[in-house]
């Protein structure tokens, strides 16, 4: 298996049936993602970023084209490709512990003892520094904490790929920065392959190895791919006045606002 082509997206096209007829969401998507790579999908609202992520997750199947993960066709969702949802999607009737345990039990339940499963759950919550909230329900904790539980649930399954759909979009700037730093640490530790949908330019440049910039929908496609060659570990404070960082940032902004700026017309 070629490590550079861990996830392969070939000629993918996605069309939705709507009340007004067929809606072409994506066309001609060609993308390879290497093992351990951090990829950000960025673009304006409605450009099909989330659609592409759902295709990789296997939640939807493409109208045309093929998606491969580790040389096997993605036929449906599975715990090897964990998803962190935009609105965290924790089950409100379960405690944080049980929410995380649910995934762990599914993946490791057949091979490990209950005590081991519980230890894994505790470790996952500790990783996102939420051990103290383990017995709380999602309704009793803040938005940032919920998102961290969502990340813990996804990471605890030790997925090959971590898919994140605007995971920090609903959070305030300070919480978001803190979680981004935590995510950088976790990803460095676990060497996970990550695909993250975002509309935040700084987030994309700070976190990614590769930024995939999408054109405006309908029938959106990949406009440009930017490789971010900043050394890791990255510190947001040091990068703030790094000339290279500013260049990457400008390149993305230039794409989003100069070349794909006519978002009102498209929407």
In whole angstroms, how close is the CB of 30 to other proteins at the nearest point? Answer: 25
In whole angstroms, how close is the CB of 146 to other proteins at the nearest point? Answer: 8
Kindly state whether residue 82 participates in binding other proteins, applying the rule CB under 8 A.
Answer: yes
Kindly state whether residue 63 participates in binding other proteins, applying the rule CB under 8 A.
Answer: no
Question: Which residue in 21, 76, 231, 233 binds other proteins (CB under 8 A)?
Answer: 76
**Total chain residues near other proteins (CB under 8 A):** 26
Count each helix (H run) and each strand (E run) in the chain, helices first: 9, 10
Question: Which residue in 138, 147, 192, 196 binds other proteins (CB under 8 A)?
Answer: 138
Positive or negative torsion for Cα 202, 204, 207, 209: negative
Kindly state whether residue 114 participates in binding other proteins, applying the rule CB under 8 A.
Answer: no
Q: Are 38 and 210 in contact (CB under 8 A)?
A: yes
Kindly state whether residue 106 participates in binding other proteins, applying the rule CB under 8 A.
Answer: yes
Taking alpha carbons only, the member of 253, 138, 135, 134 closest to residue 204 is: 253
Residue whose structure tokens are 């605007």:
166
Q: Kindly give the residue spans of alpha helices, DSSP state H, lying in the chain.
A: 49-57, 96-108, 114-127, 143-156, 173-190, 201-207, 236-239, 243-253, 263-266
Q: Which residues contact 264 (CB under 8 A, 6 or more apart)?
A: none
Kindly state whether residue 93 participates in binding other proteins, applying the rule CB under 8 A.
Answer: yes
Return the structure tokens found at 243: 């000339």
Kindly state whether residue 194 participates in binding other proteins, applying the rule CB under 8 A.
Answer: no
Taking alpha carbons only, the member of 168, 186, 171, 74 closest to residue 128 is: 186
Kindly state whether residue 62 participates in binding other proteins, applying the rule CB under 8 A.
Answer: no
Kindly state whether residue 77 participates in binding other proteins, applying the rule CB under 8 A.
Answer: yes
**Cα-Cα-Cα-Cα dihedral of 171, 16, 161, 43, to 10°?**
-50
In whole angstroms, how close is the CB of 140 to other proteins at the nearest point? Answer: 8
Kindly state whether residue 79 participates in binding other proteins, applying the rule CB under 8 A.
Answer: yes
**Residue 82 or 222 having the CB closest to other proteins:** 82
Kindly state whether residue 102 participates in binding other proteins, applying the rule CB under 8 A.
Answer: yes
Taking alpha carbons only, the member of 91, 103, 88, 208 closest to residue 155 is: 103
Kindly state whether residue 101 participates in binding other proteins, applying the rule CB under 8 A.
Answer: no
Question: Which residue in 27, 88, 176, 210 binds other proteins (CB under 8 A)?
Answer: 88
Q: Which stretch binds other proteins (CB under 8 A): 14-22, 37-45, 71-79, 254-262?
A: 71-79
Kindly state whether residue 261 participates in binding other proteins, applying the rule CB under 8 A.
Answer: no
Return the H-helix or E-strand segment holding 67. Answer: strand 64-69
Length reported for the chain: 267
Kindly state whether residue 90 participates in binding other proteins, applying the rule CB under 8 A.
Answer: yes
Kindly state whether residue 148 participates in binding other proteins, applying the rule CB under 8 A.
Answer: no
**Residue 170 or 263 having the CB closest to other proteins:** 170
The footprint of other proteins (CB under 8 A) covers: 57, 59, 76-79, 81-83, 85, 87-94, 102-103, 106, 137-139, 146, 157
């Amino acid at each position: 298996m070629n490590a550079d082509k861990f996830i392969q997206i070939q000629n993918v096209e996605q069309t939705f049936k709507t009340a007004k007829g067929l809606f072409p969401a994506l066309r001609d998507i060609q993308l390879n993602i290497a093992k351990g790579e951090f990829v950000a999908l960025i673009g304006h609202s409605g450009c099909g970023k989330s659609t592409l992520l759902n295709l990789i997750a296997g939640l939807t199947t493409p109208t045309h084209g093929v998606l491969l993960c580790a040389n096997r066709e993605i036929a449906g969702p599975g715990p090897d490709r964990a998803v962190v949802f935009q609105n965290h999607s924790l089950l409100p009737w379960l405690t944080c512990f049980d929410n995380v345990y649910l995934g762990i039990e599914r993946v490791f339940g057949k091979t490990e003892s209950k005590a081991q499963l519980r230890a894994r759950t505790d470790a996952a919550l500790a990783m996102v520094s939420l051990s103290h909230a383990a017995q709380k329900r999602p309704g009793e904790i803040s938005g940032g904490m919920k998102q961290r539980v969502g990340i813990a649930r996804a990471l605890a399954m030790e997925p090959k790929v971590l898919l994140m759909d605007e995971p920090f979009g609903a959070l305030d700037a300070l919480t978001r920065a803190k979680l981004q730093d935590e995510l950088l640490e976790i990803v460095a530790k676990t060497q996970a392959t990550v695909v993250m949908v975002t509309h935040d330019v700084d987030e994309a440049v700070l976190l990614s190895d590769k930024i995939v910039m999408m054109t405006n929908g309908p029938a959106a496609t990949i406009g440009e791919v930017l490789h971010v060659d900043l050394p890791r570990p990255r510190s947001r404070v040091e990068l703030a006045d790094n000339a290279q960082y500013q260049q990457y940032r400008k390149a993305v902004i230039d794409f989003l606002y100069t070349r794909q700026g006519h978002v009102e017309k498209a929407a």
